[in-house]
Structure 1
C-alpha cells in the first residue's frame, strides 16, 4: 500500500500516512487522551464485513502486518502500531436480538452500554463492560469483566459462536465443535488474537428487574480494617451481588475547590428480581462493626442500569489521560489494599483511583472451560492514573508504575484486557497460565504462520 500501490476494493475509507484526515483518525483510534507515538502506514475504516478479507489480501500482498481496533479502549493503544495496517472495525456496529432463543448476534463495534439498554427493553441482559463507551469486540476478546459477572461469568463465557476472518482471508464459523482452537483463543486472547472477528453470537440472560446498592465511605487510613470486614462479609453475599473497593479522592469528579480527603469506598450492587430480594441479598452489609466511623453510608438504595453507567462515567471521564495496570494475586484484599493505599496517598492527581472488585468473575469450572481467559488469583486490583494536563504525564505514569511495584511481588498474573503491556516483555505471557500461553503460541503458528497479525505489545 505504497503511494503507487492499488487501493483495495473496499466500501470503507482508506487513509495513508500524510493524508489530510490521517492524524485525526489515528488519534481517534484510542479513547485515552494519552496517545502513543506509533503511526500505522495505512488506516482502513471498514464499512462492511466484506471489506475485511479484501484489506487482509492487500496487506499480505504488500508484506504489511495488521492490527485491529473495535472501540479503542485499550489504555495503551494496543491497536496503534508503527507501520502496517490499522483495521478499524468501529463502523461494524449492528446487532440483532432473538428474544425467543435468548441470543443475539453483534458486530465488534457495538457499544456495550447501548446494547445492554436495548436488551433491557426485551427483558434480557448480558454482562457488558462497566464503562459506558466500551465496544464489545475488544472487550469480549480479552475476556470481559462486566456487570454481575460473579453470577454470569466473564463476558466471553457467553460467546456461543464467532465469525472470523483468518490470515489467508478465509471466513470461518467457529464454535466449540467447528474450529475449536480458534474459538477457544477468541475467548480471552485479547489484543494478540490472530484473526479478525466480524461477528459474535451471544447467549443472553433474563434481565434483573430490581437493582439496589449499599455503599460506605471511610477515610483512607482505615483501608486495612475496612477491607478485612467487607471481604469477609462478601463471603455471605449471594452471587448476584457485585462488591468492590475503590480508593479515591472524595468528590474527585465534582466541581469542588480546595483539597479533598482520600477515602476508601465499599460499594455493593444487587442484581435481583424484586426489591425484597435485593434487600435480602444486601442484608449482610446493613451493619458495620468497625470502630472507624464511616464518613457516609447509603443502604439498600434502588438504582438502575442507566444510573450505574452514569456513575461509571464519573469514574472514567472522557477527554482525560489514563495509565492503568492489573494484578491477580493470592494475597487477601486487605494486604493488597494497604500497600496500594500507601501508594495512593501520594498520587499526583486527585482523579486517580484504585479499583479492587471482590471475586470479579465466577470461578465455576463450567464457565472457565474452553477459553483462553482464566482467573489467575483469589484477589484482583487495578490502579488507574487519571489526569488531564499533558505537562503531568511523566509524574502520573511514574506513580502508576511505582504503585504497581509495591504489589508486583505478590502477583500471580495480569488481566490482558487492561494490563500495561508496555511495562515489560513478559507481561503478556503472565496474563495466561503457562499451558494456555503455549497453546496460544501453537494456534498462532497454525492460523497465522507468516505473522500477518501483530502480536502483543512488547511481546
Structure 2
C-alpha cells in the first residue's frame, strides 16, 4: 500500500485481505508450518513504536479487535484471529544495554539469538528462550522458561518495567510503582495481556564464563529407572545446572531406537566450577546399559542454540501442549514413555525440565506466572507431511488424555489453547485467574484486545 494511503498515519506496511501479497504475509506470521485457516482482516507491520500507537488508535476508530504478534512462535497460532487487526511487532528489534547498571531496554521483536551475544560482549546475560529465534515479546509476556532458569529464575521476573500502549491509545509506563496491576499481568499473562508492550526494561545477570554439558542416553524402556536415578542426582546438583529429560528417537533417525536422554548443562564461572557442579551425574549406578554418554564436555551458547535447532527445526509442522503435575518424575515419565513409544513421527518428543524454575520465587514474586506442580513436561508432535496432520495431532491429544489424571495445570506459553477452553484458565492459580479478569476489565473494558484462543 502506498504511504499516502496509509490509515491513521501508520508508516509500516499495511496488508488487507484481497491484496496480492496477503496470503504470503498471513502465513509468514507463524513460525510453525502447521497454520490455522484463521484470517485477520488487516495486518499492520509496525515500523516504529509510534506505529503501534497509530495502529491501536486506527483500530479503535474502525471498531476492530486487535491481536498481537512478536515472533510467531505460538504453537497453536494465537496471533491469527478471524477479522480485525493483527499488529506485527517483529520489526521492533532495537536494544540499549547499560553495562554499568546491568540493565537493558529491549523492543518486543528482538530475539534471543540477537540479545545473547550483545549481552555477552558486555559480560552480561539474561535467561533468553531455548530456541534462538523466539522473540522476547511473547516469551516474556508468557513468563519465559529459558536458559538457566533454575538459577536465574523465570525470565519475566527479570522485567523491571514495561512501556505499553493501552486499548484507549495511551502510552503508559508500568512497574511495581506505576500501573502495578498491568505490570503484574505483563509478567505471565501471555496472549491474554490487555495492551501492547513496546519495550521491556530488564535486570541483567553476570555472564557465565564456562559452560559444560553432561548427556546420558538410554533405551526408552528404562525411562522409569532412569528418572529415579536422575532425580536423585538432581538433588545434589547446584542451581547453576539445568537438567532435563528428553524422550524421543535417537538422533532423529527414523530407524533409530526410542530413547530417554538425561541432559545437564552447567552455567559456571570457571571450567573447574562447571566440572564440580556436574559431578553427581558423572557416574550411573543403573544396570541398564546406556546407548551413549558424554560427561563434562565444554560447550557454548552457540552450541546450545544449535542443539535446540536440531530438536525444533524450521519448516516442520508442530502441535504441543504443556502440563504441570503433582506426580514425581518417575511416575509422570513412565506414563509419557508409554505414549512416546506410540508416536507415529520419529521427530516427536517429550521434554521434561527438572525444576525448571525456583518454586520459592514463584510464590514470593508479584507476577501472573506461577508454578502449578512439582513436575513439568511438554509433549511435541513434530512432522512434515500435511497428510499426517490428523494422526499427529491425535497422538498429542491422546498423550495429554493419558496424563490428565496427573495434570494440575498448564504453562500458557506453549499450552494447546485449541484443545480445551479450560487450558487458559488452568494455566494460572485460581486467585491469579480472577485477578487477571479484573485487570482486563479495568484496562480493556470494551475487549479491544483478543483474549485467549479457545477454538
Q: Do the two structures share a fold, i.e. TM-score over 0.5?
A: yes
2:244 is paired with a residue whose SS is strand
CA deviations 1:70-116 (Å, max 9, x no partner) are 00000011000001100000010110111010001000000112201
Other-structure match for 1:101: 101
1:37 to 2:59 alignment:
no
2:400 is paired with a residue whose SS is helix
Which structure 2 residue ranges, 5 or more long, are not aligned? Answer: none
> C-alpha distance in 2, partners of 1:310/1:144?
20
2:120 is paired with a residue whose SS is helix
One of 367, 379, 396 as aligned partner of 1:371: 367
Other-structure match for 1:411: 407
Which structure 1 residue ranges, 5 or more long, are not aligned? Answer: none
Taking the TM superposition and a 5 Å limit, the aligned residue runs for 1:31-430 are 31-252=31-252, 259-365=255-361, 368-430=364-426
> C-alpha distance in 2, partners of 1:309/1:343?
27
CA deviations 1:167-196 (Å, max 9, x no partner) are 000100111000000000000000111000
Shift of 1:365: 3.5
After TM superposition, where is structure 1 displaced by more than 6 Å over at least 4 residues in a row?
A: none
2:14 is paired with a residue whose SS is strand
> C-alpha distance in 2, partners of 1:59/1:411?
39
How many residues are paired up? 451
Shift of 1:364: 2.4
Other-structure match for 2:439: 443
What's the TM-score once normalised by structure 2's chain length?
Answer: 0.98
1:434 to 2:453 alignment:
no
CA deviations 1:289-309 (Å, max 9, x no partner) are 111010110010000111000
> C-alpha distance in 1, partners of 2:32/2:6?
33
CA deviations 1:243-287 (Å, max 9, x no partner) are 0000010110xxx5x621000000010000101100110001111
Shift of 1:58: 1.4
1:335 is paired with a residue whose SS is helix
Question: Given that residues 153 and 361 in structure 2 are in contact (C-alpha distance below 8 angstroms), is that contact kept between their aligned partners in structure 1?
Answer: no
2:416 is paired with a residue whose SS is coil
Question: Given that residues 362 and 371 in structure 2 are in contact (C-alpha distance below 8 angstroms), is that contact kept between their aligned partners in structure 1?
Answer: no
Shift of 1:55: 1.0
Question: Given that residues 163 and 173 in structure 2 are in contact (C-alpha distance below 8 angstroms), is that contact kept between their aligned partners in structure 1?
Answer: yes
> C-alpha distance in 2, partners of 1:363/1:86?
35
Shift of 1:367: 7.5
Question: Given that residues 237 and 281 in structure 1 are in contact (C-alpha distance below 8 angstroms), is that contact kept between their aligned partners in structure 2?
Answer: yes
> C-alpha distance in 1, partners of 2:221/2:96?
49
